[in-house]
Structure 1
Amino acid sequence: MRLSVLDQSTVVTGRTPAESIRESLALARLAESLGYARYWVAEHHNSDSQAGTAPEILIGAIAATTARIRVGSAGVMLPHYAALKVAEQFRVLEAVAPGRIDLGLGRAPGSDGRTAFALNPRADTAADQFPAQIRDLLAWVSGQKLVDGHPFRDVRAQPAGPTTPEVWILGSSDYGAQVAAYFGLPYCYAHFITEGRGAEQAIDAYRTQFRPSAQLAAPHVAVCVWALAADTRQEAERLLTSRLAWRLGRNRGLFEPLMSPDEVAARAFSDAERAHMEAGRSVSIYGTGEEVARQLDALASGLGADEVAVLTTVHDPQARRRSYTLLAEASGLTSAALVAA
């Protein structure tokens, strides 16, 4: 099973959002040394929870300071932007790191409605143009002409080059799965958003409706999963409390900085809130490195996924680094990376 990293540049209490970006740069270098296949960064706006507003810029910084790992977006929220501009950005990134750039595309706003309009004054109809945007972007990013009769058919996205970013469709519903199938693109299901609900249906729709393309001859599925590894299960349970408290707020529409386990322990929760957090614990993947590796392998096997991208959000950056290290060791990534080196 191929393992990758998803990073949201999580904002935490006691540190600035700018520090979260620098922690992402450091974690990417560690992920490469550990043998992870990809390092994907997310896009969120006007959020006190995530600092990653411009994945294309963060990708460039990571690509310039790594040598092997694929780097990409998970994803660029395409309705906010002109397809040509996104194609140009990722053509530049492909020039920086040829053969290592992934362009993951999503349709969700990654923000509240007002912020979506601030990003694109036509936000009320932009999502409806998602398939047409993908059609045009695929042509521009690969150096092909747009469809006959298109007013921008002769416009090119520079810089041209011999390699092309690998385009993915990301989603947490059947819609994204169907779009990925129609265009013959690899598909990543956002398991961490739905806690797995709807994953089987979306992946089945993707596989059933898949049409081979120049990029991909057969369906290719990844799932992005929240998971946490620690040296002991007890330590993993303690670190998990930050995620559970954040999840409680998220489900109320509150996107706040991630609290430390000590801050969570000091907060007074109602019985109903504690019950909600316990329910979150029951659907979380956590434990020792070996336990997490087994759970991820079982999940991927059950869904027929070819890859798993792991999102780990904890307050302590050293604990997050340790989590990815333990998982890499338990999955055999570290030894493979040493052999490759």
Structure 2
Amino acid sequence: MRLSVLDQSVARAGRPQDESIRQTVALAERCEALGYHRFWLSEHHALPTLVGTAPEVLMAAVAARTSRIRIGSAGVMLPHYSPFKVAEQFRVLDALAPGRIDLGVGRAPGSDQRTAALLNPDLQSANDFPQQVMELQAWVTGEDMPPGHPGHGIRALPVHATAPQLWMLGSSGYGAQLAAHLGLPYAFAHFITDGEGCDAALALYRSAFRPGVIERPMATVCLAALAAETDEEAWHLFKSRERARVDRRTGRFGPLLPPEQAVREYTAMERAEAEQLRRRAIVGSVARVRDQLLALADELKLDEIAIVTWAWDPVAQRRSYELLAEAFALEGA
């Protein structure tokens, strides 16, 4: 099974935010050396927990520091932007890293509505999203727009032998259905829903798929996992993400806290939320996490999984990826 990475440039309490960006680039270099297949970057805005606001810029930095690993967005929030401009950006990225660029797109704002309005005062309606995706695919691959379209005869440059691979991202049946209709690869955001709706979305994608950009269905899931030398150590490190998730559900946002500071007395509602999160979490010794990942991949019929790991200590985050690379015998581990 192939393993890939999704990194969100998490803000860490007591550390400057610019350090999180540099840690992302350093992690990409390490994951390439370990043998991971893809390294994807997310887009969020005005969220104190996540500081990766411009995946296309970070991708360029990663491209300059790597030579093999595929680099992608997970994803570009397309309603904020002109599909033509996104196509230009990603064709430039593909010129920097030929044949290694994944262009993952989604329709969520990646922010609150006020921030979304600042990003684009003419924010596109969700109803326009399918049309945006089709225009983006045409410009990314060098196809011409039909006569009568404002973009007829205009090409997104630079033009060269390779092109970015377009992916549809989603956490519901909508993205699965659109990906199936357009014949696109599909990635389900398992880490957002804690797996809820994942099997249904993948089943919908596979059953409704018709050949388009690709000839047969190609799906992955992006899930949260954290491995350490022992179960005890892993669950200690997990306290940081647990606190962040519980706080977010109650409207509190902030940088990731060290595990020692993340512990506090929960209300009854918060305690129930934390217990549910722990039951679903893929956390523990590397053997336990490996077995959970293999079981999930078998259940969902996957041959690739993208892992997102939150840890306050960048060394612990990196070590989790190292342990999993060894456990799955990735080339380079």
Pairing 1:171-186 to 2, within 5 Å after superposition: 171-186=170-185
TM-superposed deviation, 1:120:
1.2
Matched, 1:301 2:306: no
1:210 paired residue number: 209
Matched, 1:233 2:231: yes
Q: Secondary structure at the match of 1:48?
A: coil
Which 4+ residue blocks in structure 1 deviate beyond 6 angstroms?
none
- Distance between the aligned counterparts of 2:302 and 2:248, measured in 1? 27
1:68 paired residue number: 68
Preserved CA contact (<8 Å) 1:220 1:306: no
1:196 paired residue number: 195
TM-superposed deviation, 1:152:
1.0
Tell me which amino acid in the other structure corresponds to 1:117. Answer: A
Match of 2:286 among 268, 285, 289: 289
TM-superposed deviation, 1:255:
2.6
Instruction: State which drifts further: 273-282 or 81-90.
Output: 273-282
Tell me which amino acid in the other structure corresponds to 1:315. Answer: W
Q: TM-score, normalised by structure 1?
A: 0.95
Structure 1 residues 148 and 301: alpha-carbon distance in aligned structure 2, compared to 1, 3 A threshold? farther
- Distance between the aligned counterparts of 2:303 and 2:49, measured in 1? 30
TM-superposed deviation, 1:87:
0.0
1:330 paired residue number: 327
* CA shift digits 1:111-153 (9 cap, x unpaired): 0010111111122x43221110111111111111013421211
1:45 paired residue number: 45
- Distance between the aligned counterparts of 2:222 and 2:22, measured in 1? 23
TM-superposed deviation, 1:182:
1.1
Tell me which amino acid in the other structure corresponds to 1:270. Answer: T
1:166 paired residue number: 165
Q: Secondary structure at the match of 2:125?
A: helix
- Distance between the aligned counterparts of 2:266 and 2:13, measured in 1? 19
- Distance between the aligned counterparts of 1:31 and 1:269, measured in 2? 36
Match of 1:243 among 231, 241, 246: 241
Match of 1:279 among 276, 281, 285: 276
Count of aligned pairs between the two proteins = 333
1:89 paired residue number: 89
Match of 2:312 among 293, 298, 315: 315
Preserved CA contact (<8 Å) 1:5 1:309: yes
- Distance between the aligned counterparts of 1:2 and 1:36, measured in 2? 7
Preserved CA contact (<8 Å) 1:80 1:126: no
1:134 paired residue number: 133
- Distance between the aligned counterparts of 2:270 and 2:107, measured in 1? 31
* Uncovered stretches (5+) of structure 1, i.e. residues with no partner: none
TM-superposed deviation, 1:278:
1.9
TM-superposed deviation, 1:271:
4.2
- Distance between the aligned counterparts of 2:28 and 2:196, measured in 1? 29
- Distance between the aligned counterparts of 2:47 and 2:297, measured in 1? 31
Matched, 1:221 2:253: no
- Distance between the aligned counterparts of 1:19 and 1:6, measured in 2? 18
- Distance between the aligned counterparts of 2:297 and 2:166, measured in 1? 21
- Distance between the aligned counterparts of 1:306 and 1:221, measured in 2? 9
TM-superposed deviation, 1:253:
2.8
* CA shift digits 1:142-165 (9 cap, x unpaired): 111013421211111000010011
* Uncovered stretches (5+) of structure 2, i.e. residues with no partner: none
1:111 paired residue number: 111
1:55 paired residue number: 55
Preserved CA contact (<8 Å) 1:10 1:49: yes
State, as a whole percentage, how many aligned pairs show the same letter. Answer: 53
TM-superposed deviation, 1:276:
2.3
